[in-house]
Structure 1
Amino acid sequence: MNPSASGWINKYGSLVKDNISAYEDFGALYDGMKKIGFVYGINTQIPEFIVPEHTLTEDENAKINLLTSLYFTFTIETGETDFAIFLNRIFRFYMDLRVNQESLWAKLLSGTSTAAKLEKLVDSRVYLEDNVISKTFNSIITNSLLFIDILLFKRYLNQPEEIRKHGQQLEYIAINVTYHALSSKEKNQSDKRLEQLFEASLTFIDATKENFDGSYRKKVLENHLVWENHYFLDMACLTVWEDKSLDYQESEYIYGIGKDLGFSEKEIGRSLEEITSFFAKNSAVIPFLKGKNLAIQFYDSMAKVVNKLILRNSKRLQKELSESKELVYLISKSATKDLTSEERKKIQNQLIDIFKSIPSLAIFILPGGAVMLPIFIKLIPKLLPSSFDENRVEKE
């Protein structure tokens, strides 16, 4: 399954039907999604029953985790497992939530099926930016507050009235809890990046217009929905533990807000232990903790973009490359030997001809696009063979 190519949601539906009992209740779903980072907004893994055809990027993990959480919330709350019924219900939920810009609605209306429209909608929820180039230079890519969608959908299935208003309240509490958790410590560079990530992920409120005084605690005390309160506590723990330390002042805030949310000291301690374990396991791959220089960050981001473009256009690329034996030979040679300047020029010219025939690859022929060619040449032998037709659903 390739979440960056069309058809991936239908492919997911064909896989999940054999794993209906993966999560027995919402508590099991919440714990499972916390272990793989989705609750924290840091998608390091995906559910075990999904076996990808290639190494997934964080945003691709986020897409799968978002759809998985939505689907199992639906089955747990309604008892219904039909994937087509789920697609219609989740699409209606997002329409009632009014999360989309008018420009996106125009794109959605041009879709041919609910699944195709939902793929575009999921993209709009996962990505903070629509521009491919801006993503390349920006380490902040994936919406960090996506689990709020799950909490809202859970409520919507039982109480659909005023769902957007409730979304505003959830974001208001979440951003205040994280802001005050950050304020309880001396900020470092990672804290600033985390703060930017939270603010960029907001959908229903504008953080620049918020008054970050103590008044938010009144809403905390009035909120009695257990899993929403679990989420707020986990977001607070994430905020103070991201630097792998917890001083007295931070501890005082965590135990104070945890008590307001209705949790015992033992439950608060368990949340801190879980975030400690998560960071110990995943600190090397958590985006906002990476201290790479700009050149390495640029290369890594470019590699992700090129990776997706190759996978998305695998069929066309296989066909075009199979008709150019010299190009295939030179690309293979470049993996083990240095090419002459004439050979490098041949590769560039032949690749440009191929890119001209595939609209999705037009980015390579734009000014500056040539800097991605070496990355393309490096990735193409490894990715192309295994990426062929990944979202095809076998007929029974």
Structure 2
Amino acid sequence: MINPSVHGWIDKFFAEQQPLSRHFYVEELSFYTATRNTGFIFGHIIDFDTEIALDNQDWLPEEISKIGMLNTLFQMYRLTKQSNDYGDFINESVAFYNLLTPKGFNPLQKMLAGSSPSSKLEKIIHDRVQTNEDLFSKNFSHVITNALLFIDILAFKQYLDKGSLPEKYFNRIEEIVISVVSLSLKTKTGISIHDELLQKLFESSVRYNKFSGKSFATLDDLDLNYLQNDLEKYYVIDLAGISLWSDEKVENEERYFLYKLGEKLAIPDSFVLESIVFVNSFISKHKAEIPYFNYSNPVKNFYDQTTDSVVVLIKRNKNRFLKEITESKELMQLLAKSTHKELDKDEKKKIKNQLLDICKTVPSLTIFLLPGGSLLLPILIKFIPKLLPSAFNENEERT
């Protein structure tokens, strides 16, 4: 199984996807529709457009984003080049991202000078899927993904087609996207509870502009002439649609806004209608899983999401983690005692310090050593008894 947090995951991804089908997308709309079905367009990935199905049950949200990013870039390469040459794809991807860094200022290139192309791409994708907020802010604000990653895909197409990128392409596309989203939010007939969270999602995803930039009164004030490719236009319409959605419907005024936007972009009404139907279906089906439609208490939301992530990390490192714990007689005694009796202050401190020492020896668990990581220790301690032999848990049965 692929672990997108371990070096070599890109090579393993392509090894597991062999043999690759010779069926290539010919129309951009077909590619876009398949990509939209995965949820990548909306920043909430529910599936992957791959030949062989992938099981993401034990992946962290960031890891799902990494696979989604890699595969969508590759599908764009297949669409543009009509080729399955994943070696060339990796080289082209690295060359593309190198263009985004000013000459003479590329610390990543120096750091990875001796690395293989796939290793370089792993590092690049890891950096690109990040939002501009830290781990704890993302969880508390319900934002756990970069919602504008598809702009990278659009830019990659430009590079593959022309061998270069138009000047400030990212800035211009991102500016148009956030302007349309901002205007669509203002157009809504009623403000729903998710609007603030949705705006927060885009604020944390922008790289080149500020979300609260220019203010536009109507669509007529927006200059959309920069959008020349249908994929760019489809993307803008879909993001406007998801920002207008509320209460499982789109009001007449909001529907008019979308059709007006489609007219201004010279996109057929049939696509606008399909977009409205798809967005409604997608959100209605996955609303409970989408962070920016989650209205629960933010502290509970943080705890639930973090617990899931911690459990995944512990399961992956179960054998090594248990070996370190069982080698410490004092720690085992304290953990056993904690299942049926309240520990005093000194005992709790000993458990904390010994667990942190163990985490230093297991690379994947160094999250507990980061600033604020100690807040996660209670989750770790609570889960430990489930990993230990049944004899250890007999203490719980006697409580």
Q: Say whether residues 1:32 and 2:34 are aligned partners.
A: yes
* 2:19 alignment partner in structure 1: 18
Q: Is the 8 A contact 2:24 2:82 kept in 1?
A: no
* 2:164 alignment partner in structure 1: 161
Cα 1:301–1:20 change in 2 (3 A) is: same
Structure with the larger RCO, 1 or 2 (CA within 8 Å, 6+ apart): 1
**Partner SS state of residue 295, structure 2:** coil
Report the Cα distance in structure 2 between the residues aligned to 1:215 and 1:100, rounded to whole angstroms.
38
Q: Is the 8 A contact 1:306 1:376 kept in 2?
A: yes
* 2:182 alignment partner in structure 1: 179
* Greater displacement, 164-173 / 174-183: 164-173
* 1:46 alignment partner in structure 2: 48
Deviation at 1:21? 4.7
Q: Is the 8 A contact 1:220 1:261 kept in 2?
A: yes
2:270 to 255, 266, 287: 266
Deviation at 1:273? 0.6
Report the Cα distance in structure 1 between the residues aligned to 2:34 and 2:16, rounded to whole angstroms.
18
Report the Cα distance in structure 2 between the residues aligned to 1:87 and 1:109, rounded to whole angstroms.
15
* 1:393 alignment partner in structure 2: none
Q: Is the 8 A contact 2:192 2:246 kept in 1?
A: no
Q: Is the 8 A contact 1:174 1:232 kept in 2?
A: yes
Cα 1:163–1:61 change in 2 (3 A) is: farther
Report the Cα distance in structure 2 between the residues aligned to 1:270 and 1:100, rounded to whole angstroms.
43
Q: Give 5+ residue unaligned stretches, structure 1.
A: 385-396
**Partner SS state of residue 207, structure 1:** coil
Larger radius of gyration: 2
Task: Return the TM-score normalized by structure 2.
Answer: 0.81
Report the Cα distance in structure 2 between the residues aligned to 1:101 and 1:290, rounded to whole angstroms.
44
Q: Is the 8 A contact 1:4 1:308 kept in 2?
A: no
Deviation at 1:87? 1.1
Q: Which amino acid aligns with 1:267?
A: F
Report the Cα distance in structure 2 between the residues aligned to 1:90 and 1:264, rounded to whole angstroms.
32
1:128 to 124, 128, 131: 131
Report the Cα distance in structure 2 between the residues aligned to 1:155 and 1:365, rounded to whole angstroms.
42
Deviation at 1:28? 3.2
**Partner SS state of residue 42, structure 2:** coil
Q: Percent identity over the alignment?
A: 33
**Partner SS state of residue 187, structure 1:** coil
What is the root-mean-square deviation in Å for CA atoms of aligned residues? 3.6
Q: Is the 8 A contact 1:15 1:50 kept in 2?
A: no
Deviation at 1:90? 0.3
Report the Cα distance in structure 2 between the residues aligned to 1:253 and 1:151, rounded to whole angstroms.
24
Cα shift readout 1:181-203 (whole Å, capped 9, x = no counterpart): 11111333311221222132122
**Partner SS state of residue 77, structure 2:** helix
Q: Say whether residues 1:230 and 2:234 are aligned partners.
A: yes
Q: Say whether residues 1:252 and 2:256 are aligned partners.
A: yes
Deviation at 1:172? 2.1
Q: Is the 8 A contact 1:168 1:205 kept in 2?
A: yes
2:58 to 52, 55, 76: 55
1:74 to 54, 74, 77: 77
Aligned residues: 381
Q: Which amino acid aligns with 2:155?
A: L
Q: Is the 8 A contact 1:46 1:61 kept in 2?
A: no
Q: Which amino acid aligns with 1:178?
A: V
Q: Which amino acid aligns with 1:233?
A: I
**Partner SS state of residue 189, structure 1:** coil
Cα shift readout 1:35-61 (whole Å, capped 9, x = no counterpart): 121112222333462433643333322
Q: Give 5+ residue unaligned stretches, structure 2.
A: 389-399
Cα shift readout 1:156-181 (whole Å, capped 9, x = no counterpart): 10113343522222212211221111
Report the Cα distance in structure 2 between the residues aligned to 1:107 and 1:141, rounded to whole angstroms.
30
- 1:191-230 map, 5 Å: 191-212=195-216, 214=218, 219-221=223-225, 223-230=227-234
**Partner SS state of residue 163, structure 1:** coil
- 1:282-361 map, 5 Å: 282-307=286-311, 309-310=313-314, 316-317=320-321, 319-321=323-325, 323=327, 338-341=339-342, 348=352, 350-358=354-362, 361=365
**Partner SS state of residue 83, structure 2:** coil
Q: Which amino acid aligns with 1:8?
A: W
* 2:396 alignment partner in structure 1: none
Cα shift readout 1:270-306 (whole Å, capped 9, x = no counterpart): 1111111111210111101111113212212432552
Report the Cα distance in structure 2 between the residues aligned to 1:322 and 1:293, rounded to whole angstroms.
37
Q: Which amino acid aligns with 2:151?
A: I
* Greater displacement, 85-94 / 200-209: 200-209
Report the Cα distance in structure 2 between the residues aligned to 1:14 and 1:381, rounded to whole angstroms.
37
